[in-house]
A and B are shown apart, each in its own frame.
Chain A
Amino acid sequence: MKLTLNVWRQKDARDPGRFVTYQAPDISPEMSFLEMLDVVNERLIAKGEEPIAFDHDCREGICGQCGVVINGSPHGPRRRTTSCQLHMRTFQDGDTLTLEPFRADAFPVVKDLIIDRSAFDRIIASGGFISATIGGAQDANSLPVPKENADLAMDAAACIGCGACVAACPNASAMLFTAAKVSQLGLLPQGQPERMDRVRKMVAQMDAEGFGSCTNHGECEAVCPKGIPLGNIARLNRDYLRATLSWGRRLPGAAGGGPG
């Protein structure tokens, strides 16, 4: 098949960037979307032009490093599919594809389609963990977890941190990402001691990173390659309210980030 690509090219963080159009003939429908970009890049290199920079690593839909907005949809049109698992048979011969980086002020563009998602790491570092000293855990079965809760926690834990939720949200909100972690840990008995503190810290960090707010559009859930349910956001809201109401009971400096 033959495609036309409108690709966002941006040399570095300071470059204003622009769209460049490329022709991509002889594309096999069996290729993955990233393999198609590989082929385009090999041709660019042969011509002595700089290849299109795009993030990717595992190419099996789990590491979360890839992510391109394809024709207005993060990770492309297929539901529950990352960019690397999208195959060219999804498109028609002669299609024009517009490729843009995930856009959010909290995700500055590094180069071309590559963005900086370290804001997510900082949200986790602010409280997305359980402070369990390594080496001091009790027997794993001493803490039974109702299967329903374990399953719900797993649904939330499936998040791959790709940032498509932010990219799709009209407000560039990171609520689904943050809520998934708050939910996962809040649903497990191990996560209870830090539950209230965790949600307040993570929300504060999320805001500090410059993400927008949730207005319940549901775009995030629709593009999430792992189908993380919107219900997690309600769970975060609930916990946040509870945390606010239990404000007075909070110990000063409780549940910090380790032995600081």
Chain B
Amino acid sequence: MDLRSSIPDGPLEKKWDRHRFEMKLVNPANKRKFTVIVVGSGLAGAGAAASLGELGYNVKSFCYQDSPRRAHSIAAQGGINASKNYRNDGDSVYRLFYDTVKGGDFRSREGNVYRLAQVSGNIIDQCVALGVPFAREYGGLLDNRSFGGAQVSRTFYARGQTGQQLLLGAYQALERQVGAGKVEMFTRHEMQDLIVIDGHARGIVTRDLVTGEVRSHVADAVCLATGGYGNVFYLATYAKGCNATAIWRAYKKGAAFGNPCFTQIHPTCIPVTGDYQSKLTLMSESLRNDGRIWVPKKPADTRPPGDVPDAERDYYLERMYPSFGNLAPRDIASRAAKRVCDEGRGVGPGGKGVYLDFADAIQRLGRKSIEEKYGNLFEMYNRITDEDPYTVPMRIYPAMHYTMGGLWVDYNLMSTLPGLHVLGEANFSDHGANRLGASALMQGLADGYFIIPYTIGNYLASNKHGAVSADHPAVKDAEKAVAQRTQRLMDVRGTHSPTHFHRELGKVMWEHCGMARTEAGLKKALQRIPELRETFWNDVKVVGSGESLNQSLELAGRVADFLELGELMCLDALERRESCGGHFREEFQTPEGEALRDDEHFCHVAAWEYTGDGKKPTRNVEPLNFENVHLSVRSYK
């Protein structure tokens, strides 16, 4: 398998400039002769569709929601990083680059991350131009805050709704192109398969979620911007509809899957309350700027939080990581929470929670100031838990939040399958083994606004292949396969709903492939998941018909893919015999319980190649070379 990253030679700062010059261009008059499919309408997808439409390409954009504005980028609360150095506090492109590489535990490509840091400033400019109402200071200039373990204030934000505002900016740009006729928008359409002709991605097969119609769309290139696969854990901070079907079908058509085991657990979510729970809600990480995290020192302490005197509280993050304290990066904070709960010191129902206490901050800054900063988050917490965080500490617990893994892509965002480009969270991205706060929005928009518009031109200009007719055998085969699969799901007529299997899979994944992983646990999961999959295909019950809107059928299709992807994640986690970032193998830790990397054997990307159903996929390796950053032990003490 060809895993060349295509990163140009030369000094780090010059790589992207040089590459932009070296890439081929498509003549403006010829752009309208090319059709590009974009699946997904989040920051990366909407950004890409809008940019490509504006450049003059014919774009077909797809989303499963009722409107492109619903994509889950909308739920990001905290902010977006950019190395603008507006605060004069020592930020620079190089520092953002360095922080991101280090934060990712040295498992990302230097060239990619540097480019991300380079374009970060342009993203802010672009968003402002599109009318995103970022927070301002009284002088009318943009405000910044420090976020998620960064020591400089480089995070731009729009109240607690940054993701929403950025997405709406991209959505409006997209709708502008829809109005101009350059983008054809297909809502309530789900991609079901990828069409590959002569080794190139040439289209997709979709199911119209309203009518059930299976239809193919051919194009000159395909971009997947379908987000992450965290819903494999069932309980996650993802939207209910987020799924891996698009990238999974692409994987089965030949695109390599990079680092599937790299998942991020977010430390500040509202804990689970019961079996009926359908999703987990994130509380912005910004809360950790003023909240103090603690648990009682004694295990099984059931006193109400107010009755636990300060001397009997363990502010464990402040104790373990004095220099970063409550602002320690996500993977570290999550693991610490798990550790104290495993020691029996967790709070709330089931002992799965820790306190996030604002009493000190309220005393120091006054209730009003806290209300101004976090009012909407406190309100949301109160709405969900019926507790008042101004008087009772919040209870939080880590939850599945982001997947750093995804389809392998080169510097041009192209997968191992020519013509198939993968953007945003859907690709194995620039975040290595752990993503820093406020970096996901940055990456999504960078890919959509500033990278794909260049690299797709290069692909189209260098690959001149003729038009594909909708009657091509490969197209017909793909359509038939999709229809058959739907029929197969309908025909099982078993006894358990798709949700039942999803929940079961989630339990297995969370237990064995969650915050801490062991060889024994992963082996158990690798045995359990195929069994579960087998049961699923013999016992799933889908009611209704395939020819109409059928949410239970949609879910069944997604769960079927999760049941395969979960296995690959466990396999990857088992093979990566080291701990790094969000991937923590209990066998590999320092005496203090920190992640122990093995740079000698695992300083690489694992790119999994599909070899057929029931066969073990091949693990290919792309070595990571660090020429500018010194591989060091990541310490936040």
Contact = CB atoms under 8 A, between A and B. Distances in A.
Direct contact of A and B (CB under 8 A): yes
Interface of A: 11-12, 28, 30-32, 34-35, 38-39, 42, 44-46, 48-51, 53, 55-65, 78, 80-81, 85, 87, 89, 110-111, 114, 116-118, 120-121, 124-141, 143-147, 150-151, 153-154, 157-158, 160-161, 184-185, 188, 190-191, 256-260
Contacts of B240: 56-59
Given A32-B278, A130-B129, A135-B126, A57 B497 contact: no
Interface stretch (B66-74, B215-223, B296-304, B333-341): B66-74
Contacts of B185: 121
9 contacts: A60-B282, A62-B74, A63-B71, A120-B67, A129-B131, A135-B449, A146-B136, A258-B179, A260-B182
A109 to B, nearest CB: 11
Contacts of A46: 497
A81 B383 CA distance: 8
B67 A161 contact: yes
B579 interface: no
B210 A150 contact: no
B178 interface: yes
B239 A58 contact: yes
Q: Is the interface of A mostly helix, strand, loop or mixed?
A: loop
Given A125-B178, A135-B450, A58 B75 contact: yes
B548 A12 contact: yes
Given A60-B281, A63-B70, A134-B54, A48 B543 contact: yes
B128 interface: yes
Contacts of A110: 210, 549
B384 interface: yes
Interface of B: 47, 50-51, 53-54, 56, 65-72, 74-75, 84, 86, 122, 124-131, 133-142, 158-159, 161, 164-165, 168, 171-173, 175-182, 185, 187, 210, 237, 239-241, 273-274, 276-279, 281-282, 379-380, 383-384, 386, 449-450, 453, 497, 499-500, 541, 543-544, 548-549, 551-552
Contact of B172 (A58, A129, A146): A129
Nearest to A60: B281
B66 A111 contact: no
Given A50-B544, A81-B383, A135-B122, A118 B67 contact: yes
A145 B51 CA distance: 26
A44 B552 CA distance: 11
A137 B175 CA distance: 19
A134 B74 contact: no
A210 to B, nearest CB: 18
A31 B274 contact: yes
Given A45-B541, A55-B66, A258 B54 contact: yes
- Identify which of B69, B173, B384 gathers the most chain A CB atoms within 10 Å of its CB: B69
Contacts of A161: 67, 69
A147 B137 contact: yes
B66 A144 contact: no
- Identify which of B138, B182, B497 gathers the most chain A CB atoms within 10 Å of its CB: B497
Given A35-B276, A63-B65, A143-B128, A158 B176 contact: no
B213 to A, nearest CB: 13
A110 B548 CA distance: 10
B441 to A, nearest CB: 14
Contacts of B273: 30
A72 B173 CA distance: 36
Contacts of A56: 240
A161 B164 CA distance: 11
Q: Which 8 A-B pairs have the closest CB atoms?
A: A144-B140, A258-B180, A125-B179, A257-B180, A257-B179, A137-B129, A129-B172, A132-B129
Contacts of B543: 44-45, 48-51
Given A57-B65, A139-B125, A51 B274 contact: no
B437 to A, nearest CB: 17
B578 to A, nearest CB: 34
